[in-house]
A and B are shown apart, each in its own frame.
Chain A
Amino acid sequence: MSRGLKGGVFKGLLFLSLLVGFLMLAALLVDVFQDGLPYLDLTLLTNPPSSDPKIAGARPAILATIYIGVLLLLFVVPIGVGTAVYLEEYADKRRWYNKLLEINIQNLAAVPSIVYGILGLAFLVRGIGLGRVLLAGAMILTLLVLPTVIIAAREAIRSVPDSIRQGGYALGATQWQVVSRQVLPAAIPGIATGSILALSRAIGETAPLIMIGAVTYISFDPTILGPFTALPIQIYSFLRLPQEEFKLLAAASIIVLLAILLTLNAFAIFIRNRYRRTW
């Protein structure tokens, strides 16, 4: 009786902790949708910001966020997967320089994002003279999420059973053939998931972009080598404006940001399932 009761109480507590996360998310969504839904229209997607809330939109910020996301993936996936393949498949883990690399990467993952912003300002914007451009933003966000991608890709590569590698080697395959034809294809679901999660984190980042000088008011479409803003910064700048309507516009922008992130996640799940099926 008392054991059964304990079990019941424990189950109840577990359910309560689950409820906290769920209710928070639900409250957030309800609140944002209540405020933002009336303002979520084509004007928001197609118009640049304006001092008149009736015609103001977030088009430059939305485009910039998409550009940054695409560039980020182009940069971070090859570098991150390459690093992970080296560390997992090629590196002799007993060598001191490989140990140093490992520690370095683990520490990089814990560096606050504002520090990356300072790094970007010093080295990219001023150091190599790239300027306050979208490319610099994408590059600094790449550095920011690179450790996450490396760690996820290493996990994925490590989860490919050794028997698969041995089977490949035993048939006379070279190390590169084993890695490229067996290990990487089998690791793609994990790598895709990790990369998308990293992308989600990068797209939500604000601090490093402000640090390298993303502008808060921009009324023309961004280019890779031009000044830019991003969706989180746009939301922040809407909220700073005095008129009440802009707060609702910010809520609508949040919905757009959420929609972009959810689409990305859906895409990741699609890739993952597709590769599972062809196995």
Chain B
Amino acid sequence: MITTTGQASTIEPMSLAEIAREHGDENVASRESVFQVRDLAVSYSGNTAIREVGLDVLKNAITAFIGPSGCGKSTLIRCFNRMNDLVPGAKVDGEVLYHGKDLYAADVDPVEVRRRIGMVFQKPNPFPKSIYDNVAFGPRVLAMKDDLSERVEGALQQAALWDEVKDRLKESALGLSGGQQQRLCIARCLAVEPDVILMDEPASALDPISTTRIEDLMHELKRQYTIVIVTHNMQQAARVADMTAFFSVDVAPDGGRRTGILVEYDKTAKIFTTPADKRTEDYVTGRFG
């Protein structure tokens, strides 16, 4: 018994730096930019949530936003598909270019934006409909009605859910497990053939096995899609992301107003091994946050 315990202890958890070195894509920086964020600031009813953000999101890469609560990373990701428009009092300043075109230009229809830029939310939010109708919802509202069943099957296969649900497509999506529901939400998003997938803490409500499946899926999906993920879990960022942005909270000198700021944005391996900023180092080594 003692021997067994001894053997088990040789399996040391990998450090974030090791995980990051194993995963990230070295040549990622040469990719073209999908989003170019320039001097972005977002405020809700006059309170600035995040400011002075500038970064490029690269094509066919996974970009992770990490940082402590309240650093504005969810606010930022919601700028990419103009979900902040739905919040009364939200105001976006600065520029978000999508393939060179300003997403916030007066002639841009936010509904059009959301067709191309899909989103998966923190808590799985399947519609109270059948599994099939969940995936078919997007194509139906966008009038992509040709070969709807094939489209639904394709999306479910891409989301690695088809084998589990193919015999119960007519059953309610609410009967699926949490992890299955989240993959259904990914399938729902894939069914409208987006260009980018935004994921706002997609695995934070899931168990470790479901989380692993979602992460594996992300590695598969990045061949075809550009992915941006917000995560609280640094291991997750190290495992999946090619690029990582670290955000922090800037407290006003008088100790009052707290605003999110971008501290550092670089290749994931760099962020987790040799970050340029002291604050990043403190955060990724667990000394802060």
Residues B185-244 near A (CB distance < 8 A): 185, 188-189, 192
Q: How far is the CA of A169 from the CA of B83 in the complex (A)?
A: 8
Q: Are the C-beta atoms of A279 and B115 separated by less than 8 Å? A: no
Shortest beta-carbon distance, A172 to chain B, in Å?
3
Shortest beta-carbon distance, B228 to chain A, in Å?
13
Q: Quick one: closest B residue to A161, CB to CB? A: B125
Q: Quick one: closest A residue to B125, CB to CB? A: A163
Q: Quick one: closest B residue to A172, CB to CB? A: B115
- A residues with a Cβ closer than 8 A to B are 92-94, 161, 163-174, 177, 181-182, 186, 278-279
Q: List the one stretch of B29-37, B47-55, B134-142, B281-289 in contact with chain A.
A: B134-142
Q: How far is the CA of A181 from the CA of B115 in the complex (A)?
A: 17
Shortest beta-carbon distance, A169 to chain B, in Å?
6
Q: Are the C-beta atoms of A164 and B192 separated by less than 8 Å? A: no
Extra inter-chain contacts (17) besides given A171-B137, A171-B142, CB under 8 Å: A93-B88, A164-B128, A165-B86, A166-B86, A167-B126, A168-B141, A169-B86, A171-B118, A171-B188, A171-B189, A172-B111, A172-B112, A172-B138, A173-B138, A177-B141, A181-B141, A182-B127
List B contacts of A186 (CB < 8 A).
Answer: 128
Choice from A92, A163, A169 contacting B88 with Cβ under 8 Å: A92
Report how many residues on chain B are interfacial, defined by Cβ distance under 8 Å: 29
Q: Are the C-beta atoms of B111 and A174 separated by less than 8 Å? A: yes
Q: How far is the CA of A165 from the CA of B127 in the complex (A)?
A: 9
Q: Are the C-beta atoms of B172 and A279 separated by less than 8 Å? A: yes
Residues B71-128 near A (CB distance < 8 A): 81, 83, 86, 88, 111-112, 114-116, 118-119, 121, 123, 125-128
Task: Tell me whether B174 is interfacial, beta carbon within 8 Å.
Answer: yes
Q: Are the C-beta atoms of B138 and A166 separated by less than 8 Å? A: no
Q: How far is the CA of A169 from the CA of B189 in the complex (A)?
A: 11
Shortest beta-carbon distance, B124 to chain A, in Å?
9
Q: Are the C-beta atoms of A170 and B118 separated by less than 8 Å? A: yes
